[in-house]
Structure 1
Amino acid sequence: MTDPGERKPLVLVSNRGPVTFQDDGSVVRGTGGLVTALTGLASHRPVTWIASAMTPMDAIRAREANGPITVRSPVGGEYQVRYVASDPDAYERFYSVFANPMLWFIQHYLWDLSNAPDVRSNEIAAFEYGYQVVNEDLARAVVEEIEGVEDPVVMVHDYHLYTLPAMVRAARPDVFLSHFVHIPWTQSDAWRVLPQRTRDTLYEGLLANDIIGFHTTSYRNNFLQCCRDLMHLEVDFDDGLVHFQGRDVWVRVYPLPIDAGATRQISRTARVKEFETELLRRRRDHLILRVDRADLSKNVLRGFSAFDLFLDQHPEFRERVTFIAQLMPSRTDVPEYAEYLEKIEALVAVVNHRHGTPDWMPIQLKLRDDLDEAMAAYKNYDVLLVNAMFDGMNLVAKEGPLVNEHGGVSILSENTGAHEELGEYAISVNPFDIQELATSIHQALTMGVDERERRLAGLKRIVTARNPGDWIDDQLEDIRAKGAGG
């Protein structure tokens, strides 16, 4: 086989693309760690990015172009974006019934199994006529894109596209496929929620890849365990291998870094300084911060309950500390998420009523997504709270310490992907232990200056050690290695 790490073109596939086209003709850059990491590929080699059309204008542009659209990368270079418009009903089933919440809940241990889910014909149909249809639509675009290319390389991303690799492999047996999973991979019992036929189809789809990547060693090991327990396959935990249909599938760990230079650049902008000026004007002695999506997996309610308990146990901090929670509403069309947001607002009201005074509100809840405002708070927190129940990586845990100028201490859930890298310099917590979390808040706020600075320096050192280009290079190196002799 020709060395696939050197072949062209490189095709990326994900549900969301790097940009969306708006009705007014403007182009909005995609957000999130996936987009940040993958746009860095444009500086490495020619790239074609295939994704679902997210807006009506995406679909219109896709029809007009009848192929890839050229987009300039913010890190230099150009890449081609090819949008695929699926049937709206199929996409709704794909996204809102099966991928979210079914797969998302499984992969974050979110199901209350005594009550949910009830797998009925609706869920089965959502997989067959939604998830599979969208995966087929994108797979068809991939096959068209690599037509005539010898030994093409396709990099697939995340939980939306688990069955796509097998579809591409069936059409092009010579293709080199890698798949990176950006969310946690849970242990085998969590997957028994799914009917066996559906589960087997998902796993067979993933195992059609040559390389499967995860953020952490624990996610990798969980996947290997699942292949052994659920698929009865031969696995090698030491070397990270699954033997499937006569092939060795490599299962690897690639922790996602942030772009430290770009993050610091944002933190120095005029708009950030405006937010910072207002924050400092209203600042009390101590500032606790969390920045999250209002997602069930982020464990927001327990964080507020722990702060409530902390104020009960340490009344000397009343009127001296403010907890800023900047939360972006998430998936409000999913009933569980709409209910969760209501619970967040209700609990904040209770805590503020119990402890607040006429001129002091203990929790400032900001339900909006504003990176500049978050960046101003990052620079000035005393405590950064990241207490997710389970999280793929959590880039907030990296962004906050990078730009913090206040000796900020990180309280970090042991169930976040970031903990594997950052745990040594954070205060580690069990996200379900409210008392431990309340105690950790007190520990962080009373920690000596030298210890605070030592921990923060350690976090900064780890966060700046690698960049998204290194993350891509590590994967391309393994693609080259496996293609050459694996």
Structure 2
Amino acid sequence: MSEERRPLVLVSNRGPVTFGDDGGFKRGTGGLVTALTGLASHREVVWIASALTDGDARKARESDGTSFRIEADDGDFQVRLVESDPEAYDRFYNIFANPMLWFIQHYLWDLSNAPDVRRNEIEAFEFGYNVVNEDLAKAVVEEIEGIDEPVVMVHDYHLYTLPALVRRARPDAFLHHFVHIPWTQPDAWRVLPRGVRREIYEGLLANDIIGFHTRSYRWNFLQCCRDLLDNVEVDFEAGIVRFEDREVWVRAYPLPIDAKAIRRTAQSARVDELERELLRRRREHLVLRVDRADLSKNVLRGFTAFDLFLEQHPEFSERVTFVAQLMPSRTDVPEYAEYLERIEAIVAVVNHRHGTPDWMPIQLKLKDDLEEAVAAYKNYDVLLVNAMFDGMNLVAKEGPMVNERHGVSILSENTGAHEELGEFALSVNPFDIQELADSIHAALTMGPGERARRAEGLQAIITSRDPGDWIDEQIADIRKKAGVEA
């Protein structure tokens, strides 16, 4: 089948746009949406996603559950929104996907205290997670009806059981699944009951190709298949899992950023206005972090390290400001609401301990504003990315692309980005607060030549691939494995 007649189906929990009560829409948020938008705008695809808002649900009903075309600034999209039962979706998202899977895949559980897996969690999987996966799988099967050997690209941890459902209905479908968050080692998965764990893994192994951001996540997945399943054969060197009568390829496709797009944003009028205000208020040095207020981002240890830095280096008093722009995240999950409160509390403590009438050491901004973040990107001396574990972390790539001061990156060794950028960043153990404090001092006292060398090295790596390359690498593997045009 020719490429023109072989449409691609994308499936994710979050779609490219979100509809409001007035029928208008805005661009979806998050790294996954950013990554997939480039593909959807350059190739004929149908993007299937959950209806996340009342406006989404209304649009899904208006289109009678079928796909519809929308015209956005960054391209036209064929979208199909799937409405699930609200109670099932709540169980799917707020009990099982978040926090259960998210916590497992970021090593966030304090296993001496949590989780307690009871009927509530089991039912959340059976009557929430599986229900939403079934709803989206049904839409996929309907969308590929009449298409020979269709290609379906499934995305992220929300949809681990969907591939097996599609495979059962359409054995000829080519299924590709990309996991955008870390894949942890086997023992982390033993939190889940064996039956639930087996269903998740067998759902994933219904795919033809499974992709991760890094080689280490790929290796962890292969280890998990070997240690947690009885009926598989794992070839670590080739990156293949033999399951039932099929070979599943396991690959690493590091996600790049669109460097041209972030540079265009940096040249916008609003960024220029925000930058002028930032420069009017800035001190001699600027430390920056831009994150979601997520437990995995390790925000508290970042502030604690800055507190320790100020204590050990009083000569920087009133000379440095730490700007932290944090987007509140999943505030309906109790652990996240509590975490946000703890963030605000530690900021108050550090500012009280070190601040003066004319100087507030930490400026905390709880907002999601890309242009304000980019204005700060252009002017930081230190970019702090100290996540405990992170699938990739696009901030680590965006910041150096537009920074104009040869700013130094402090980068957690547990981020996906570290596998590419670690050579030119100050690499840190995110749990070592003293090392973080020392790295802040090293970055702020680094000579201009070394700063330039590192900044130029980061930019060279970041610009060596773009989102088109990321998609092309995956499509090339689909073609190679399928033996046909994809």
Q: TM-score range by the shorter chain?
A: over 0.9
Mapped pair 1:223 → 2:221: yes
Segments of structure 1 that go 5 or more residues without pairing to the other structure are none
The residue type equivalent to 1:369 in the other structure is: D
Mapped pair 1:245 → 2:244: yes
Question: How far, CA to CA, are the matches of 2:98 and 2:350 in structure 1?
Answer: 31
Equivalence map 1:374-385=2 (5 Å): 374-385=373-384
CA contact (8 A) 2:406 2:452 kept: yes
Residue of structure 1 equivalent to 2:118: 120
Question: How far, CA to CA, are the matches of 1:61 and 1:319 in structure 2?
Answer: 53
Q: 1:443 Cα shift?
A: 0.4
Residue of structure 2 equivalent to 1:260: 259
Q: 1:237 Cα shift?
A: 1.2
Equivalence map 1:37-436=2 (5 Å): 37-66=35-64, 67-72=66-71, 74-76=73-75, 78-232=76-230, 233-436=232-435
Q: 1:73 Cα shift?
A: 5.1
Aligned with 1:380: secondary structure?
coil
Question: How far, CA to CA, are the matches of 1:169 and 1:268 in structure 2?
Answer: 47
Question: How far, CA to CA, are the matches of 2:434 and 2:36 in structure 1?
Answer: 40
Segments of structure 2 that go 5 or more residues without pairing to the other structure are none
What's the CA shift string for 1:271-312, capped at 9, x where partnerless?
111110011011111000000000000000000010011011
Question: How far, CA to CA, are the matches of 1:434 and 1:381 in structure 2?
Answer: 21
Question: How far, CA to CA, are the matches of 1:413 and 1:388 in structure 2?
Answer: 6
Higher mean displacement: 243-252 or 21-30: 21-30
What's the CA shift string for 1:54-79, capped at 9, x where partnerless?
11121111111121010235444x33
The residue type equivalent to 2:93 in the other structure is: Y
Question: How far, CA to CA, are the matches of 1:31 and 1:297 in structure 2?
Answer: 18
Q: 1:121 Cα shift?
A: 0.2
What's the CA shift string for 1:89-144, capped at 9, x where partnerless?
00000000000000000000000000000000000000000000000000000000
CA contact (8 A) 1:39 1:73 kept: no
Higher relative contact order (Cα pairs below 8 Å, separated by 6+ residues)? 1
Question: How far, CA to CA, are the matches of 1:352 and 1:43 in structure 2?
Answer: 46
Question: How far, CA to CA, are the matches of 1:330 and 1:52 in structure 2?
Answer: 19
Q: 1:245 Cα shift?
A: 0.5
Structure 1 length as normaliser, TM-score? 0.98
Residue of structure 1 equivalent to 2:26: 28
Aligned with 1:346: secondary structure?
helix
Structure 2 length as normaliser, TM-score? 0.98
Paired residues in the alignment total 483
Share of identical aligned residues, percent? Answer: 77
The residue type equivalent to 2:447 in the other structure is: G
Q: 1:7 Cα shift?
A: 5.7
CA contact (8 A) 1:42 1:75 kept: no
Question: How far, CA to CA, are the matches of 2:243 and 2:162 in structure 1?
Answer: 17
Aligned with 1:357: secondary structure?
coil
TM-aligned CA distance change 1:342 to 1:43, over 3 Å: closer
The residue type equivalent to 1:41 in the other structure is: L
What's the CA shift string for 1:381-408, capped at 9, x where partnerless?
0000000000000000000000000110
